[in-house]
Amino acid sequence: MIPAGFEYHRPGDIASAIGILQEHGDEARVIAGGHSLIPMMKLRMAEMGHLVDLQAIDELKGIEVGSDTVTLGAMVTQHELITHDGLAAAIPLIREAALQIADPQVRYVGTVGGNVANGDPGNDMPGLMQCLNATFDLSGPDGNRSVAAREFYEAAYFTAREDEEILTRISIPVPGAGVGQAYEKQKRKIGDYATAAAAVMVGNGTASVAMTNLADTPVWSESASAALADGDVNGCVAAMLDAIEPVADNRGPVEFKKHVAGVMLRRAIDRAQNRAG
């Protein structure tokens, strides 16, 4: 558990960070909270000559709660998500999900940007952001662009982000009043990734349903969402179970995961519907 040697960079702005990435190409990686990257480095499954720490970049910080949109800086920690009252009032689902990520010590350092950008199918925030229909802002050598969370994930650890781009901000539309939200997660213990997790929004004739750690990307299902919007819970669950592709691991075999996925989704739907009033 000793990483190979690397150069450490701590740029003060996004442009400098991108410059370092451009200069070193494949050799460089950005690091946010580091909870995914550092273990990989210690296992020597990730070796890079240059580590670009984003801690000192103020542009990547801050939570802004507008009437229509919430924006989160990429370096906002899970702890900040949990303790921001304005955010909890606007989109309670984020606090509810963040509380189920890892443990308090990890949440003090782990960031929302790192969580969504890494492309780890075990992370909770990608599915959540797909449910919320968030947009990710990317900055790179060729300027800025935005990618919808629902378009961002290609395969495990592969995303629409180019190597020399940095995910800078997350924009989330504020769900209207009357939309109930719930995040339901089964895990083996504190700190574990989900055996299955479900993010649900429902109300005002709309619905959005996404699930975590049941395929090599988060799974947002248009047909499951549409079924739920029509009030067809069984149809929603059936569509989602059709969309997920879990694989066997130490958490259990596929059959078990599919069953638990259905249970988590039904529980999340039930709570979200109750909250919708």
Partner 1 sequence: MNDQTLTPEERAANLKGMGSSRKRVEDVRFTQGKGNYVDDIKLDGMLFGDFVRSPYAHARVVSVNKEAALALPGVIAVLTAEDLSPLGLHWMPTLAGDKQMVLADGKVLFQGQEVAFVVAEDRYIAADAAELVEVEYEELPVLTDPFEALKSDVVLREDLEGQTEGAHGPRKHHNHIFTWEQGDKDATEAILAEADVVAEEMVYYHRTHPCPLETCGSVASMDKVTGKLTLYGTFQAPHAIRTVVSLISGIAEHNIRVISPDIGGGFGNKVGAYAGYVCSVVASIVTGKPVKWVEDRMENLMSTAFARDYWMQGKIAATTDGKITGLWCHTTADHGGFDACADPTKFPAGFMNICTGSYDIPTAYLAVDGVYTNKAPGGVAYRCSFRVTEAAYFIERMIEVLAIKLNMDAAELRRINFIKADQFPYQSALGWEYDSGDYHTAWDKALKAVDYEGLRAEQAQRVEEFKAGKTRKLLGIGLTHFTEIVGAGPVKNCDILGLGMFDSCEIRIHPTGSAIARLGTISQGQGHATTFAQIIASEIGLPADDITLEEGDTDTAPYGLGTYGSRSTPVAGAATAMAARKIRAKAQMIAAYLLEVHDDDVEWDVDRFSVKGAPERFKTMKEIAFAAYNQAIPGLEPGLEAVSYYDPPNMTYPFGAYICVMEIDVDTGEWDVRKFYALDDCGTRINPMIIDGQVHGGVTEALAIAMGQEIAYDEMGNVKTGTLMDFFLPTAWETPNYITDYTVTPSPHHPIGAKGVGESPNVGGVPCFSNAVHDAFRPFGLVQSHMPHDHWRIWKIANGLGMHE
Q: Which of 121, 269, 265 is nearest to 198 (CA)?
A: 265
Q: Of 114 and 246, which CB lies nearer to partner 1 in the complex structure? A: 246
Q: What residue spans of 57-207 are helical by DSSP H? A: 78-83, 85-90, 92-98, 104-109, 112-117, 125-131, 149-152
Lookup result for tokens 């069953």: 259
Regarding 188 and contact with partner 1 (CB under 8 A), the answer is yes
Of the two residues 176 and 253, which places its CB atom closer to partner 1 in the complex?
253
Helix axes 233-243, 222-229, angle to 10 degrees: 170
Helices then strands, counting H and E runs in the chain, come out as 12, 14
- Beta carbons within 10 angstroms of residue 275's beta carbon: 18
CA distance 13 to 263: 45
Choosing from 16, 256, 270, 276, the residue that interacts with partner 1 (CB under 8 A) is: 256
Pick 161 or 271: Cβ nearer partner 1 = 271
Q: Which is nearer to partner 1, 4 or 155 (CB)?
A: 4
Number of residues that bind partner 1 (CB under 8 A): 23
List binders of partner 1 among 16-35 (CB under 8 A). none
Question: What is the three-class DSSP state of 161?
Answer: coil
* Helix, strand, or coil (residue 167): strand
- Which is closer to partner 1, CB of 1 or CB of 177? 1
The identity of residue 123, as a single letter, is N
Residue with Cβ nearer partner 1 (128 or 260):
260
Instruction: Please provide the distance, in angstroms rounded to a whole number, between the alpha carbons at the two ends of the chain.
Output: 51
Of the candidate residues 89, 155, 259, 274, the single one contacting partner 1 (CB under 8 A): 259
Token output for 241: 């179970």
Which 67-106 residues touch partner 1, going by CB under 8 A?
A: 103
Give the whole-angstrom CA distance, residue 196 versus residue 187.
Answer: 7
The least distance separating partner 1 from the CB of residue 98, rounded to whole angstroms, comes to 16
**Quick one: how far is CA 276 from the chain centroid?**
24
Among 154, 190, 231, 247, indicate the residue that binds partner 1 (CB under 8 A). 190
Coil, strand or helix at 105: helix
Among 13, 15, 27, 44, binds partner 1 (CB under 8 A): 44
Stretch that binds partner 1, among 1-9, 107-115, 202-210, 224-232 (CB under 8 A): 1-9
CB of 38 to partner 1, least distance (A): 14
* CB of 213 vs partner 1, minimal distance in Å: 13
Helix (H, G, I), strand (E, B) or coil at 276: helix
Task: Output the smallest distance, CB 41 to partner 1, in A.
Answer: 12
Site string for partner 1, 135-174 (x = CB under 8 A): ----------------------------------------
Binding residues vs partner 1 (CB under 8 A): 1-2, 4-5, 44, 103, 186, 188-192, 195, 250-253, 255-256, 259-260, 263-264
